[in-house]
């Protein structure tokens, strides 16, 4: 997992793997406030952007998730969002497995889970297999807006 600020990442190129730096640079070229919610291609099907406008909820109502084929860059654009983050735990119960169709599985509560609060302009990067619990409320449930870049794992192998 990486926690950073978009402005800092752009000011210090080369501090992240090349494909992460490239994705962050692509985000900086877009008018993210004007993009409608939904899916937007960045590099075809191997790197794309999701603009999401969810309502945050109680921490306990959200489920930890992980992906197999994609890394996530989750950049908060508006509001405040809390994440649960945890290392993968052998034997952690899979509550819902959608990895074959949607590259996501939802898990039971890990034994050791930290919380991170994002504010606008901050991002988190989750590698395939890393547990994260997004869309948790910092206080009362509230609307947020975020950009999620999905990066297929093949880009980490071919673009070094």
Beta pairing partners, 130: none
Q: Which of 19, 15, 49, 46 is nearest to 32 (CA)?
A: 49
Topology, domain 2-158: Jelly Rolls (2.60.120)
Residue 158 confidence (pLDDT): 59
List the domain boundaries for the chain. 2-158
Cα(122)–Cα(137) distance, integer angstroms: 16
The mean of the pLDDT values for the chain is 94
Tokens linked to 106: 């939802």
Percent of the chain having pLDDT more than 90?
84
Residues 134-156 pLDDT 10s: 999 999 999 999 999 999 999 98
Provide the percentage of residues in the chain whose pLDDT is more than 70: 98
CA distance 145 to 8: 20
Handedness of CA 99, 104, 108, 111 (dihedral sign): positive
The pLDDT score that the predictor gives to residue 160 is 45
pLDDT digits over 64-110, tens only?
A: 999 999 999 999 999 999 999 998 888 898 999 888 889 999 999 99
pLDDT at 90: 86
Q: Is the dihedral of CA 38, 42, 48, 53 positive or negative?
A: negative
């Amino acid at each position: 997992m990486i926690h950073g600020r978009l402005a800092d990442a752009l000011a210090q190129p080369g501090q992240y793997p090349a494909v992460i730096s490239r994705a962050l640079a692509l985000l900086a070229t877009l008018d993210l406030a004007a993009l409608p919610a939904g899916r937007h291609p960045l590099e075809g099907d191997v790197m794309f952007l999701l603009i999401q406008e969810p309502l945050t909820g109680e921490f306990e109502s959200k489920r930890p998730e992980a992906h197999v084929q994609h890394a996530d860059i989750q950049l908060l654009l508006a509001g405040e969002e809390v994440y649960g983050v945890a290392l993968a735990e052998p034997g952690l119960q899979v509550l819902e497995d959608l990895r074959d169709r949607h590259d996501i599985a939802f898990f039971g509560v890990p034994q050791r889970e930290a919380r991170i609060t994002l504010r606008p302009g901050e991002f988190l990067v989750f590698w395939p297999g890393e547990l994260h619990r997004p869309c948790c409320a910092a206080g009362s449930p509230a609307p947020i807006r975020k950009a999620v870049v999905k990066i297929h794992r093949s880009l980490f192998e071919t673009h070094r």
